[in-house]
Amino acid sequence: MHVPGVAMGGLSAGRAALAGLMTVIGIAAGSLTAAAVLSGAAAAAEPANCQMVRMADPGWTDITATNAVAGTLLGAMGYQQKIETVAVPIIFQGLKTGQIDVFLGNWMPAQSTFLDKLIAEKTVEIVRPNLENAKFTLAVPTAVAEAGVHSFADLAKFGDRFEKKIYGIEPGAPANQNIQRMLDKKDFGLEGWTLVESSEQAMLAQAIRRTRSKDWVVFLGWQPHPMNTRIDMTYLSGGDAYFGPNYGSTTVNTLSRRGYGTECPNVHRLFSQLAFTVGMENEIMAAITEDKKAPKDAAAGYLKAHPDLLGPWLAGVSTRDGKDAAPAVRAALGLK
């Protein structure tokens, strides 16, 4: 009976070992399931207020275009986008007070007077540069450049031809402030000159009108923008102190309110990966201004034609309900 007793004892031990193994397997499986749920539901774990992404547009076509790209992605991911069209100083105040979440139009160094203060106060965060090799300075029609106006220093001697006017954009814009500062200092001999402030559209209409009538005009120009193909134009050199070197060479940053990345990590990840090119923005803006497409239609059309952009932008990003964002966006765009 000794041997059977040993056999029974071994069986009991085996059952215990098997039970223990099943418990370990169950715990491991449960852990894996929990990990998958936690990973997949990262977006769903965000606070409810993250569903509405509050953005801003100073009324500039390039920011209308990039906002439309962001809105197309966000909508497919189950988020909503709200855009406030307000002047740049109000946008920075909104970021500071937490009323605006994300701003895609921080042109630097033109907006440094606004940004530097808020960075020092730690009320605004730079998410990433979203556009390199942009340009932002004074420009003239090429015919005027060929007549002898190549730099800021050439303007004064042709003051009568220009009616001593520089055409800028909306009141409060940092670029206008830089121009006004230049005029107040009478730099480059610009005594008695005035800044004409208006909307982007009104300024461009005036520049186009005067160019076609062969009247002289100096205006604020930038790239990317369809103006560069609609107007035969030349950027002026010598404005480094006001617009930066290399004809106002500019980087455009994405900004967020303080703490947005911690509070809404999924949306923040999207914006930390979202970047544009001059060619991309020019094409979307042309669809808006020349083809008269709605901004989101223009953005969706571009994304359908360039689906390779989606992978890097959406890597590790989830839909609002915790699924992989890339398939959802591709489906919303009608892509396979």
Residue pLDDT, tens place only, 138-185: 999 999 999 999 999 999 999 999 999 999 999 988 899 999 999 999
Say if domain 48-134+250-332 classifies as CATH 3.40.190.10.
yes
User: In this predicted structure, what is the pLDDT of residue 15?
Assistant: 42
Mean pLDDT of 247-275: 97
> In the CATH scheme, what is the code of domain 136-248?
3.40.190.100
Q: Can you name the residues that pair with 324 across neighbouring β-strands? A: 318
Residue pLDDT, tens place only, 266-309: 999 999 999 999 999 999 999 999 999 999 999 999 999 999 99
CB-count burial class (<10 Å; 0-12, 13-18, 19+) for 47: exposed
CB count within 10 Å of CB 83 equals: 18
> Is 34 or 251 the better-scoring residue by pLDDT?
251
Q: Which one-letter amino acid corresponds to residue 184?
A: D
Residue pLDDT, tens place only, 185-240: 999 999 999 999 999 999 999 999 999 999 999 999 999 998 998 899 999 999 99
User: In this predicted structure, what is the pLDDT of residue 39?
Assistant: 39
DSSP 317-332: -B-TTSSBHHHHHHHH
CB-count burial class (<10 Å; 0-12, 13-18, 19+) for 276: buried
CB 253 within 8 A of CB 130: yes
Tell whether the model's pLDDT for residue 17 goes beyond 80.
no
User: In this predicted structure, what is the pLDDT of residue 269?
Assistant: 98
Please report where in the chains the tokens 């610009």 appear, as a residue: 190
In the chain, list all ranges with CATH 3.40.190.10: 48-134+250-332
User: In this predicted structure, what is the pLDDT of residue 172?
Assistant: 86
Would you give the distance in Å from CA 321 to the centre of its chain? Answer: 25
In the chain, list all ranges with CATH 3.40.190.100: 136-248
Mean pLDDT for the chain overall? 88
User: In this predicted structure, what is the pLDDT of residue 336?
Assistant: 83
List the alpha helices (DSSP H) in the chain.
2-40, 61-76, 88-97, 112-121, 142-146, 159-162, 174-184, 200-212, 227-230, 240-243, 245-248, 260-263, 265-273, 278-289, 295-305, 310-314, 325-332
Helical axes 112-121 vs 174-184, angle rounded to 10° = 120
- Percentage, residues of the chain above pLDDT 90: 81
Nearest Cα residue to 199 out of 167, 230, 243: 167
DSSP 251-287: EEEEEEETTHHHHSHHHHHHHHH----HHHHHHHHHH
Residue pLDDT, tens place only, 56-74: 999 999 999 999 999 999 9
